[in-house]
A and B are shown apart, each in its own frame.
Chain A
Amino acid sequence: MQSVALQPVTMKTNRIKQADSPDLQYSSVLQTTNLSVYYGGHCAVDQVSLSFPKQSVTALIGPSGCGKSTFLRSINRMNDDVDSCRTEGAIYYEGVDLHSPHVNLHEIRKQIGMVFQRPVPFAKSIFKNVAAGPMRYGVKDKKELQRIVEENLKKAALWEEVKDQLHTSALRLSGGQQQRLCIARALALQPSVLLLDEPASALDPVSTTKIEELISQLKKDYTIVIVTHNMQQAARISDEVAYFYMGRVIEHGPTEQVFTNPRHEQTAHYINGRIG
């Protein structure tokens, strides 16, 4: 039971080690093949095959309702909790099929963090918001928790603003601070992938800039998939772009190429319409 449950973790460490050896090219952490997601009879994601290279930012763009969130949520299997939702195809994370009955859902979500469109701080102190995850996974030592909280608030560029009020309620922070807190909370679990669903769309421009800077920083250590409606943002922070339309990926490639020289007219239309 235990060995099966821990399989993805051991795999992960093995793979990371192997990746350094020249004979094994292992550059994409996450990959979907022919992933389709249905709500009842409605197909929201249609045969999407994408791979996400390590330490890169991939932006998912496309009009509302084209299935970006659904795609993102199927990666960490949040759609399991939606009753009408059914998934076909495969998702590979570090070479492990996430739909295999042997994988441990808690481990998946620990290693693939998610941040939502609206900041969702818990009704707890700032400290406890960040410590909640590590405590769930067995960190009890006070000093260790203190260290984790500080480290991740620093990573999320929030430490300086909150270090004197760690034990006040997280609900008192501004929206932008709350969102960075949510990022810190996800980082505290030491994920290798971060899924961000329009993380800045509910925030003011200053907070948005902070989040963008943060994402550019985080990409050194994490693989990031971000949904965004803001083309300038996608251009600024992403390495690759995938354009979704009606549940399908119409175009996927390096950001520079997709923005300057898209292969599909439809992509050009969407991007120009959004920028113009």
Chain B
Amino acid sequence: MSAKRKDQLATAGLYVIVGIIITVLAGLLGFVFVKGVPQLSWQFITSPPQIFKEGGGVGPQLFNSFYLLVLTLIISVPIAIGAGIYLAEYAKDHWIIRCIRVLIEVLSSLPSIVVGLFGFLFFVLYMGWGFSILSGAFALSVFNLPLLVRVIEQSIHNVPKSQREAGWALGFSKWETITTIILPAALPGIVTGIILASGRVFGEAAALIYTAGMSTPIIDFTNWNPLSPTSPLHPFRPAETMAVHIWKINGEGIMPDAAAISDGAAALLIISILFFNFTSRFIGNLLFKKMGAN
């Protein structure tokens, strides 16, 4: 067989594989949207679920998902930036550092249900936080950190060495160089990484079932005092998220329109995650442009 023929065959093979992937993906998204989008309405997005009747919504669940995400980012982003800076700039090639890197790899491939059970044992029981937003946010942070650390380390690592030398040549210390020169240069990559990680966190269910819990108490959206138990911001209340809600009503939903609600919630979830992906691209590009890199 001639090289040209081989090339043609290989190209054809790749087209077929790509075609299959696209078909599966489009089918999946199409299915979820066709069934789910008709369920979406303002009322659905804002009202609380009904247990026995039709016509419930997913308002609290949607709020919980975002609130948990925000808390998770507040906990994990500073730690990840610190760890990323350390690994990219300070860590020497030492066996302890190599062990840490392997641990991060392992941690990032840990099944999320295992992270959830760890969170249950540690945050819920040992720390005594119960099924709560705080337990959930910490569990999600454990789940999120390895990926975030690697993305941030990589972004910092990708800033050329010459930038560091230029900083040192101005008399900047290593730390000043990192904070005033390297981080701004790495920012587009870091922001993109954070937003992509957000999408993953937003859709996570298994890590939350045993930490943030599967129920939402009656919350009063007019009460924004975080210390009040009926406030949506109260960190020690249980908080079922969208993903957990979908999982729950598919298992034990007894409302008559359970299937419809699950479809609507699934569509809403996917729309949110697509939204994260597109914003990450948009913001990333914007930052790159602002820096003038293209």
**Residues in chain A within 8 A of chain B (CB atoms):** 76, 78, 81, 105-110, 113-114, 116, 118, 120, 122-124, 132-133, 136-137, 168-172, 182, 185-186, 189
B170 A171 Cβ-Cβ under 8 A: no
Per-residue A-contact encoding for B178-199, CB less than 8 Å = 1, 0 else: 0011001101000000000000
Alpha-carbon distance A209/B203, docked complex (angstroms): 58
Task: Kindly list chain B residues whose C-beta atoms are within 8 Å of the C-beta of A137.
Answer: 171
* A132-B180, A136-B176 given; A123·B291 CB < 8 A: yes
30 contacts between A and B (CB under 8 A): A76-B169, A78-B165, A78-B169, A81-B165, A106-B173, A109-B169, A114-B169, A116-B162, A116-B165, A118-B162, A120-B163, A120-B165, A122-B166, A122-B181, A122-B185, A123-B184, A123-B185, A123-B187, A123-B291, A132-B180, A132-B181, A133-B171, A136-B170, A136-B176, A136-B180, A170-B292, A171-B291, A171-B293, A172-B292, A186-B170
* A120-B162, A122-B163, A132-B180 given; A109·B292 CB < 8 A: no
Task: Kindly list chain A residues whose C-beta atoms are within 8 Å of the C-beta of B173.
Answer: 106
Alpha-carbon distance A186/B165, docked complex (angstroms): 13
Q: From residue 263 to 293 of chain B, which have CB atoms closer than 8 A to chain A?
A: 290-293
Residue B172 at the chain A interface, CB threshold 8 Å: yes
Give 10 new A-B contacts, CB below 8 A, not counting A106-B173, A122-B184: A78-B168, A116-B165, A120-B162, A123-B187, A123-B293, A132-B181, A136-B176, A137-B171, A186-B170, A189-B170
Query: Please, which residue of chain B has its CB at the minimum distance from the CB of A104?
Result: B171
Task: Kindly list chain B residues whose C-beta atoms are within 8 Å of the C-beta of A120.
Answer: 160, 162-163, 165-166
Task: Kindly list chain B residues whose C-beta atoms are within 8 Å of the C-beta of A76.
Answer: 169
Q: Which 3 A-B pairs have the closest CB atoms?
A: A169-B292, A109-B171, A171-B292
Alpha-carbon distance A243/B123, docked complex (angstroms): 69
A132 B292 Cβ-Cβ under 8 A: no
* A122-B184, A123-B184, A171-B292 given; A133·B163 CB < 8 A: no
Task: Kindly list chain A residues whose C-beta atoms are within 8 Å of the C-beta of B176.
Answer: 136
Task: Kindly list chain B residues whose C-beta atoms are within 8 Å of the C-beta of A105.
Answer: 171
**Residues in chain B within 8 A of chain A (CB atoms):** 160, 162-163, 165-173, 176, 180-181, 184-185, 187, 290-293
A109 B170 Cβ-Cβ under 8 A: yes
* A122-B163, A122-B181, A122-B185 given; A107·B292 CB < 8 A: no
Alpha-carbon distance A131/B238, docked complex (angstroms): 50
CB distance from A122 to the nearest CB of B (A): 5
Q: Which of B162, B165, B166 lies at the interface centre, i.e. has the most chain A CB atoms within 10 A of its CB?
A: B166
A116 B166 Cβ-Cβ under 8 A: yes
Task: Kindly list chain B residues whose C-beta atoms are within 8 Å of the C-beta of A116.
Answer: 162, 165-166, 169
Alpha-carbon distance A108/B166, docked complex (angstroms): 14
Task: Kindly list chain A residues whose C-beta atoms are within 8 Å of the C-beta of B181.
Answer: 122-123, 132
CB distance from A74 to the nearest CB of B (A): 13
CB distance from A183 to the nearest CB of B (A): 12
Task: Kindly list chain A residues whose C-beta atoms are within 8 Å of the C-beta of B180.
Answer: 132, 136
Alpha-carbon distance A120/B181, docked complex (angstroms): 11
Task: Kindly list chain B residues whose C-beta atoms are within 8 Å of the C-beta of A110.
Answer: 170-171
